[in-house]
A and B are shown apart, each in its own frame.
Chain A
Amino acid sequence: MTGTKITLAHGSGGLAMQQLIKDLFVKYFNNPHLSLMEDQAQLSLASFSNSTDKLAFATDSFVIDPITFNGGDIGKLAVCGTVNDLAVGGAIPKYLSAGFIIEEGLDLATLELIVKSMAQQAERAGVSIVTGDTKVVHKGACDKLFINTSGIGVIPENRCLGVSQVQAGDKVLVNGTLGDHATAILQARGELALSGDISSDCAALNELTELMQVAGKVHAMRDATRGGVAAVCNEISESSQLSICLKETQLPIHQEVRAVSEMLGLDPLLMANEGKLVAFVAAENADAVLAAMQSHPLGKQAACIGEVSDATTPQVVVEGLYGTHRQLQMPVGEQLPRIC
């Protein structure tokens, strides 16, 4: 590769682009499907095993400032995000596509770091990046680098996860501390005088979700990214017409995140995560599933944070220390003050 920065030529379709693909993407994502350099990946149907299995298909785009932060980078995020979207549906993620929109002038070294990180994360998660695309846009038309990933996975027979399965009495589980990613990003932006050392929870959860489903009946799972646990619970409550009561004292929150969010007036329940799922589990299996979560490195601090119940009017409620019941709303953009 010539030069140290991305130029418009890298997106021209010509030689520079060919070289970029070969020297960077194919090199790191290295797998037989990609190496053929066809316009499409050709996947054998046998790899999707039984015909009664279902195929899961998900896509997500990643834009984040800054593109590297404590605990991850945009590449790792792009792999984990789509892997998690598949995994929380009960799927075993198999193949990913990756689309890059790159701002002219980006350091090649930076791009290489991110591509490397994607490759590592894909390997760890047991998925292959089998097809991709690259565009370079004029300076200012995008911010450094945007990535889109799509993924397909297999949902084995007999697995049926979804909001329709959620029932009154279900326990609400999370696999660990809330708000770490949002705090790490605040810190990484350097706008906040934060001294702590919080790293993003960015991680692929497919191994954990497999363990959980072996341990007991999981009714539904959601990836608690933007809008945090609050958004997940409101979505589930809204579509199931059930109430969800969370116990404030049971919420796993990193001490530093708690301190920062208290000082800044942010609610960890609304803060973004990149490696946290919320699971709705049949009450009789909750202990077993929780134990399975806690046995995995990504679930050491897993906790049961609440319960689903019947209600004439579905609400998401946080029960406080003294038995107060505060309604937890669907986040409206940023947190808006309402106290008069």
Chain B
Amino acid sequence: MASYAALAIRVKGQVQGVGFRPFIWQIAKELECLGEVLNDNHGVLIKLLCPVDADAFIEVMQQRLPPLAAIDEIAVSEAYFSTLPTDFLITASQAGVTNTRVAPDSATCDACLTELFDTTDRRYQYPFINCTHCGPRFSIIKSVPYDRKATTMAPFALCDDCQQEYQHPANRRFHAQPNACPECGPKLQFVDSGGSVTAEEDEALTAAAQALAQGRIVAIKALGGFHLAVDASNAQAVERLRERKQRPSKPFALMVANAAQACNLAQVNTAQEDALTSQAAPIVLLTARQRSGLAPGVAPGQHRVGVMLPSNPLQHCLLSRLNTPLVMTSGNASGRPPCITNEQALKELADIADDWLLHNRDINNRVDDSIVQHNGERVQVIRRARGYVPTPISLPSGFEAANGVLAFGADLKNTFCLLKDGAALLSPHLGDLADADLFNSYQENIGYFSQLYDFTAQLGCCDAHPGYLSHAFAQKHGYPVEAIQHHHAHLAACLVDNDKALNHEPVFALVLDGIGWGDDSSEHDFWGAEILFGNYHQCQRLGGLSPMPLLGGDKAAKEPWRNLLVYLDVYVENWEQSSSSLPISLLQTKPLTLLRSALTSKINCPQSSSCGRLFDAAAALLTDCFEWQSFEGEAAMALESLAWQALPSAAELKLELELEFDQRLAMKRLWQALVGCSSSKAERALGFHRNLANLLLGMLLDKAGDRRGDVVLSGGVMQNRLLHELLVSGASQLGFNVLVHSDIPANDGGLAVGQAVIAWANVSTEVQTSASEYNHD
């Protein structure tokens, strides 16, 4: 049999369903190569007839990578052809080949945008335009392989024109599974409050734009779920949305047409602009400008606003017809998960929305808007969902064999995580599992992810908190389940985020949290701000904030004043007389005798070193957030916003080190400064952040002695950008190498990754141990 020498280039990564093969076809044509390209179980295989300069080919490939593609690994080996190729072909996939990776949903690409606004294009103003470089992916997929019939595009048969595009390798829509046009694709409907369709297709868009311009609340179907939209410059409309959604103060996200408009509302630096215009198109938290024209009710009491650009053509069409930023908040009734079906939206949002902009392409997987913030040039993902999921999180060296681990995550801000083939597959942000509907979708999502990735759990892991719903649920599956300490999981997630290897030596960590169930090493069960020393395999608590009672258990997390009372009673003598400020007099109207007797008798007053509650206490004193928080983190965010007012410029953010090694004294000083001092509230709020940073660093240094090296900063409190920057600055000055979060949330949304890698580390140690024992024989 004849044999013709060839080189095989194997490419692994996100290379399927993203226009990779036609892209290779184009390079091959350009470089005049002969051979073939095909998808297989491992990714993409390229075979080039010799003689060929494979290095040059690879260089071009890497330089011009399609927007949605990502290469993890390239390997070149020798191969041969049994018949002499005369062309370069895209060979059909072999039967049984599974697409190994599903791409995330991606914002409309520039080429599609140009067509969208080109009056001569057949897709002019067509709200479902997409191509291999953009459009829906994860949100519409039902099963693998990623093929049109396995998506919610299945009911739409391609018209001849679309079919032509789909078939031709040179076309941008070659194998673009959601390819569609006005002829054959999904269509819009505008539904009024009476439930009847009053406009369709382009007229539906016009009707929606008009409704919004009139200040009406419109429920709009987006990529991964519904939004509720109103004109963000219309104060009355925004107030009405707040009332109907029973959402008194939680900031609303905004959507503007483009980056230039974002600059009108807020300060946008280059890194932030990059994030806004990225394929993921997340909500970016930006420092708001004065007199931006926004209604005051958009983000009351906050110095930042969350802004995003349109992430689908429907939103582009809508925004282009309006001259105003829109509030784009998630389309859910109070306390419920966002709607994804038309039926849900019509029913559950009936008391909120005035009108509905619907379409007939189903959303199969709910993915909320992602949220990111910036610290300098660094992007930090706070909520990881649309645009990021389900891109695997690559694991550091040593985890190559990681497999079969299912981490059930935390109960609030829940995500779960699978370890498969050396990567971490983190679910989209789901939410609080105490919600019954959400808990059901948690179970469904775990099943769905397992099916999608052909995953069978061999080892489960969950948070150690015995009262977590996820903890109880994890035990019900038959495989062994490891309980992982909460703070250790935060530490490990940060190590992964910094690509630290499986055998990395123990590092210091400041994990600042609301609460996380501790281990036996402390007398209090509920850990908060802790100093740890550990790696994937082990973790030791060196110290932490002194525990304080959570007055009323979970009530303490809802009502900031409870924490103020607890801290004042301990750290400020005669606080009743110490100040005439409003919060102090308000506090005295509470049934103090009853509350203090509950504290003394320890009735529902568990001890916790919570950092979140310390923030709540200070916020109760200095901000309007005294009585109760309408959303998690409200008090702490208000305190941070207040502190920023005292900073002339963010560039000045350097911590003056004033370390106090006696925690009691440091805390006393902190509280006396908060209560007694005559400076402005903003200055006191800033002082609180500075004092706290110094206190924490003092505690760290006390434990670290002469040792330096890495220090991890993690936990939900690290979302506080001010405290985070002060700690980064201070720890660096002290000679530590600071490890912070970027792609994996520092809050409980990243916890599942940490749980999973710890569980795997424990298993792989057992394997090693038993192997070494075996060697002794």
Cβ–Cβ < 8 Å partners of A324 in chain B: 334-336, 435
A247 interface residue, CB < 8 Å from B? no
Query: Are A338 and B412 CB-contacts (below 8 A) given A265-B556, A332-B467?
Result: yes
Q: A315 contacts B436, CB within 8 Å?
A: yes
* CB <8 Å contact, A340 and B513: yes
Whether A340 touches B612, Cβ cut-off 8 Å, given contacts A266-B604, A324-B435, A326-B434, is yes
Residues of chain B in range 586-603 having any CB-CB distance to chain A below 8 Å = 591, 593-598, 600-601, 603
Contact call B410/A194, Cβ cutoff below 8 A: no
Flag whether B118 is at the interface (Cβ < 8 A): no
CB-CB under 8 A for A336 and B466, given A264-B604, A317-B436, A320-B335: yes
Q: Is B552 an interface residue (CB 8 A)?
A: yes
Residue of A nearest to B433 (CB): A327
Q: What distance in Å separates the Cβ of A326 from its nearest Cβ neighbour in chain B? A: 5
Asked whether A4 is an interface residue with its Cβ less than 8 Å from the other chain, the reply is: no
Query: Which residue of chain B is the closest to A320 with respect to CB atoms?
Result: B335
CB under 8 Å from chain A, chain B span 550-586: 550-558
Asked if B553 and A336 make an inter-chain contact with CB atoms under 8 angstroms apart, the answer reads yes
User: A334 within 8 Å of B by Cβ?
Assistant: yes
Given contacts A193-B594, A315-B436, A336-B465, contact A323 B553 (CB under 8 A): no
In the assembled complex, B514 has its CB within 8 A of some CB on chain A: yes
Interfacial chain B residues near A332, Cβ < 8 Å: 466-467
Contacts of A157 in B (CB 8 A): none
| A170–B632 alpha-carbon span in the complex (Å) | 36
**Closest chain A residue, CB of each to CB of B348:** A323
| B677 surroundings in chain A (CB, below 8 A) | none
The answer for the CA separation of A260 and B436 in the assembled complex, in Å, is 27
- A49: interface (CB < 8 Å): no
B411 touches A263 (CB 8 A): no
User: Does the CB pair A337–B554 fall under 8 Å?
Assistant: yes
- Cα(A317)–Cα(B716), bound, Å: 28
Min C-beta distance of B773 to chain A, whole Å: 38
- The answer to the question of B608 belonging to the interface, with a C-beta cut-off of 8 Å to chain A, is yes
In the complex, chain A residues whose CB is within 8 Å of the CB of B554: 265, 335, 337-339
Q: A residues within 8 A CB of B596?
A: 193
Question: A residues 240-296 with Cβ under 8 Å of B?
Answer: 260, 262-266
Q: Which residues of A contact B335 (CB under 8 A)?
A: 320, 322-325
Taking the closest CB of chain B, its distance from the CB of A12, in whole angstroms, is 38
B553's contact among A193, A265, A320, by CB below 8 Å, is which? Answer: A265
> In the complex, which residue of chain B has the Cβ closest to the Cβ of A333?
B466
Contacts of B334 in A (CB 8 A): 322-324
B375 interface contact, C-beta 8 A: no
What does the 1/0 interface line of B713-750 toward A look like (CB < 8 Å)? 00010000000000000000000000000000000100
Contact A265/B604 with A320-B335, A325-B437 known, Cβ cut-off 8 Å:
yes
The listed residue (A191, A320, A323, A338) touching B467 by CB distance below 8 A is A338
The residues of A that contact B433 with a CB separation of less than 8 Å are 327
Q: Which of A189, A329, A336, A338 counts the most B-chain CB atoms under 10 A from its CB?
A: A338
User: B106 to nearest A CB, angstroms?
Assistant: 32
A186 to B606 CA separation, bound complex (whole angstroms):
17
A337 touches B598 (CB 8 A): no
CA A140 – CA B604 in complex, angstroms?
27
Query: Which residues in B have their C-beta under 8 angstroms from that of A260?
Result: 594
- State A324–B438 Cα separation when bound (angstroms): 11
Nearest chain B CB to A58's CB is how many angstroms away?
29
CB contacts (< 8 Å) of A312 on chain B: these are 440
Name the contact of A335 in the complex, choosing from B513, B514, B604 (C-beta under 8 A). Answer: B604
Smallest CB separation, B637 vs chain A (Å): 15
Closest-CB distance, A194 to chain B (whole angstroms) = 7
* A1: Cβ under 8 A from any B Cβ: no
B246 touches A337 (CB 8 A): no
Considering the chains assembled together, what is the distance between the CA atoms of A264 and B594 in angstroms? 9
User: Does the CB pair B553–A340 fall under 8 Å?
Assistant: no
Check A191–B439 contact: CB distance below 8 A. Answer: no
Q: Is A192 an interface residue (CB 8 A)?
A: yes
Q: Determine the distance from Cα of A6 to Cα of B434 in the docked complex, in whole angstroms.
A: 51
Bound Cα distance A325, B597 (Å) = 33
- Residue in B410, B465, B513, B604 whose beta carbon sits within 8 Å of that of A334 in the complex: B604
B748 touches A340 (CB 8 A): yes
Whether A337 pairs with B469 at a CB distance below 8 angstroms is no
Residues of A within 8 A of B472 (CB): 329
B333 within 8 A of A: yes
The A182-217 residues at the B interface (CB cut-off 8 A) are: 186, 189, 191-194
User: Of B466, B556, B603, which is within 8 A of A337 by CB?
Assistant: B556
Query: Contacting B594 at CB < 8 Å: which of A194, A265, A337?
Result: A194
- A–B complex contacts, Cβ < 8 Å, 18 sampled: A191-B603, A193-B594, A263-B552, A264-B603, A265-B551, A265-B556, A266-B604, A322-B334, A324-B334, A324-B336, A327-B469, A336-B465, A337-B550, A337-B553, A340-B410, A340-B515, A340-B557, A340-B612
Residues of A within 8 A of B (CB): 186, 189, 191-194, 260, 262-266, 312-313, 315, 317, 320, 322-327, 329, 332, 334-340
Closest 3 CB pairs of A and B: A265-B552, A191-B601, A265-B555
